[in-house]
A = this chain, B = another copy of it.
C-alpha cells in the first residue's frame, strides 16, 4: 500500500520497519471486524489492539481503507479458491457458496464489503477498489479454469460480473437472507447460456 512496497529498494538506512507490527495490525483488524464490526474500527483502537503505536499504522498505510484492502486481498486469495469438482455446475455452485460465506462471515469478506461501501463515498478508496478487486479476480480465476468446458464464457470482467454480481447484490442488500436458492438457480441459468453453442 504505502511506499517501500516491494522489498528490495537496495540498502535502507536506519532501523528497518517492523514486519511484526505490520502483521499485528492486520490481525487486529481481522479480529475486530468479526468481534465488533467495521463501525467500531478506530485507528486508535486498531493500534492499541495490535500493541502498536498510532504513527506506525500511518507509516505503513495512509488510510483505514488501505489497511482493509490489504487485510482483504491477502485472505481472499485463499478463501475464494473453489475446490475442483466433477462438473462445471458443481464447481460454480461451490465457488458462489464460497463467495457468500466469504462476504458474510470471513473477516476478509467483511473488510471487502466495508471497503466497497467506503468506495461509494471516497473517490480515493474507489480508485483502490477499482484497481484491485479480490472478488472479481477470484471469479476470473474460476472462469478461466472452466473456459474449456464452457465455450460460451465471455472474456474479461463481463463474465465475472455476471457470475458474482447477483450474489453480491443479494448480500449487500439483504445480508441476513440466505442466498442458496439464488445461487442454485443462477448457476443453472448461467450454464444454459455459457454451455450452449450460441454466443
Tell me the A residues contacting B by CB distance below 8 Å: 37-39, 113-114, 116-123, 126, 129-130, 133, 135-136, 154, 157-158, 161-162, 164-170, 172-177, 181-182, 185-186, 188-189, 192-193, 196, 198-199
Q: Which single member of B38, B120, B186 contacts A162 (CB below 8 Å)? A: B186
B-chain residues with CB within 8 Å of residue A164 when the two chains form the complex: 169
Q: In the assembled complex, how far is the CB of residue A166 from the closest CB belonging to chain B, in whole angstroms?
A: 3
Are B117 and A119 in contact, with the CB atoms below 8 A?
yes
**How far apart sit A105 and B46, CA to CA, in the bound complex (Å)?**
36
**How far apart sit A186 and B196, CA to CA, in the bound complex (Å)?**
15
Are A120 and B158 in contact, with the CB atoms below 8 A?
no
Are B121 and A117 in contact, with the CB atoms below 8 A?
yes
Q: In the assembled complex, how far is the CB of residue A130 from the closest CB belonging to chain B, in whole angstroms?
A: 5
**How far apart sit A80 and B27, CA to CA, in the bound complex (Å)?**
43
Give how many copies assemble into the complex: 4
**How far apart sit A193 and B176, CA to CA, in the bound complex (Å)?**
28
Question: Whose C-beta in chain B lies nearest to the C-beta of A110?
Answer: B120
Q: Which 9 A-B pairs have the closest CB atoms?
A: A117-B117, A165-B166, A165-B165, A165-B169, A117-B120, A161-B166, A113-B120, A38-B121, A189-B193
Q: In the assembled complex, how far is the CB of residue A8 from the closest CB belonging to chain B, in whole angstroms?
A: 26
Q: Given contacts A162-B186, A165-B165, A185-B158, is CB(A120)–CB(B38) below 8 Å?
A: yes
Question: Whose C-beta in chain B lies nearest to the C-beta of A158?
Answer: B182
Are B186 and A158 in contact, with the CB atoms below 8 A?
yes
B-chain residues with CB within 8 Å of residue A182 when the two chains form the complex: 157-158, 161
Centre residue among A117, A126, A182, A186 by max chain B CB count within 10 A? A117
Q: Given contacts A162-B189, A189-B162, is CB(A119)–CB(B172) below 8 Å?
A: yes
B-chain residues with CB within 8 Å of residue A170 when the two chains form the complex: 157, 161, 165
